[in-house]
Amino acid sequence: MIYQYMLPSETTLSYHLDLARRTIFSGWRSQTESEAYRGGMLQVADLISKNHIEYWLYNASKFTAPDLSDQAWTLEVLGPLLAETELKKIAVLVPEDVFLQAVAEGVRSKAENIFYGKIIMENFLDQQSAEDWLLSGS
């Protein structure tokens, strides 16, 4: 069964849920404010938990880097929530901007300490590579 939704109008985050493959694809369509970012990410984390999702493709290619407080929140709040789920892999589609890629790599590297090898996270520049990696061995 496949579900496709747009999260509430105050966010610019949409998602596609494929329960048969235990996969979620979510993505920002544009930049958003901190409150909407956090709310949207919590909703996705809730979907991951409730639907026993194992694979997440997170498209952040149209989203500029979260500010430092949102980066800290992502690691301190969102990371531990995800670590408690059945999630195995997160593929992050990042913008083609060297600075933003460095920010994404910093978050990915720090997340490894939270996930303790339970969840593998990789950054990608194109969706096909991200999907191929995400679904390999699934």
| pLDDT tens, residue order, the chain (138 aa) | 444 444 554 557 888 999 999 999 998 877 778 888 898 899 999 999 999 999 999 998 887 667 889 889 999 999 999 999 999 999 999 888 887 788 888 888 888 889 988 999 999 999 999 999 999 966
Distance CA 81, CA 131 (A): 23
- The DSSP secondary-structure symbol of 53 reads -
> SS3 for 74-122, per residue?
HHHHHHHHHHCCCCCEEEEECCCCHHHHHHHHHHHHHHHHHHCCCCEEE
Radius of gyration of the chain (CA): 14
Continuous segment of H or E residues that includes residue 3: strand 2-6
Residue matched to tokens 């194992």? 54
CA angle 38, 32, 85 (to 5 degrees): 30
